[in-house]
């Protein structure tokens, strides 16, 4: 077959350049959101079949609901006591697996007051579909 491959090489060059752009952008944003600020309040999030428990720094516990203050930074320490769950606040793009025997962290700062959904994103059995909680962000 007599043909030249220059078009394929240009095409591959464009594809590779786009991939480098995608990778660099993703790396940069991940770097920006990765580090929790030092003054972030720690909240221990525990998943179990099939509800969420939240423990604040002052020791108060909440089950099935979480009260936070607007424009404060919070760092979640997510864990589980039975099977894998996944702590998720879709509205604020907060997501982290709750895995027994491990503590995973994720942080965010709510910049909107209101009532938001918390749900489980990792299949965890019978009532996985209804493993929900409410997040209340209060304006102070």
Q: State the residues that interact with other proteins by CB under 8 A.
A: 1, 3, 5, 7-8, 11-12, 15-16, 18-19, 21-23, 25-27, 29-34, 37, 49, 71, 73, 82-84, 86, 88, 90-97, 99-102, 104-105, 107-109, 111, 117, 119-130, 132
Give me the phi and psi of 118, to 5 degrees please. -120, 135
Q: Shortest Cβ distance from residue 74 to other proteins (Å)?
A: 10
Burial status of residue 19 (CB atoms within 10 A of its CB: 0-12, 13-18, 19 or more): exposed
Structure tokens at 128: 């996985």
User: Is the Cβ of residue 66 or residue 86 nearer to other proteins in the bound state?
Assistant: 86
Q: Shortest Cβ distance from residue 32 to other proteins (Å)?
A: 6
Number of Cβ within 10 Å of residue 11's Cβ equals 11
């Amino acid at each position: 077959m007599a043909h030249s491959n220059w078009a394929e090489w240009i095409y591959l060059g464009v594809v590779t350049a786009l991939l480098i752009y995608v990778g660099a952008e993703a790396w940069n944003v991940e770097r920006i959101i990765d580090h929790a600020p030092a003054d972030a309040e720690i909240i221990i999030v525990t998943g179990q079949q099939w509800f969420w428990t939240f423990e604040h720094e002052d020791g108060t516990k909440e089950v099935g609901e979480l009260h936070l203050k607007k424009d404060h930074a919070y760092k979640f320490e997510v864990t589980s006591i039975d099977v894998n769950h996944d702590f998720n606040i879709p509205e604020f793009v907060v997501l982290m697996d709750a895995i027994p025997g491990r503590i995973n962290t994720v942080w965010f700062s709510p910049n909107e007051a209101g009532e938001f959904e918390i749900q489980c994103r990792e299949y965890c059995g019978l009532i996985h579909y209804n493993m929900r909680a409410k997040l209340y962000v209060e304006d102070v």
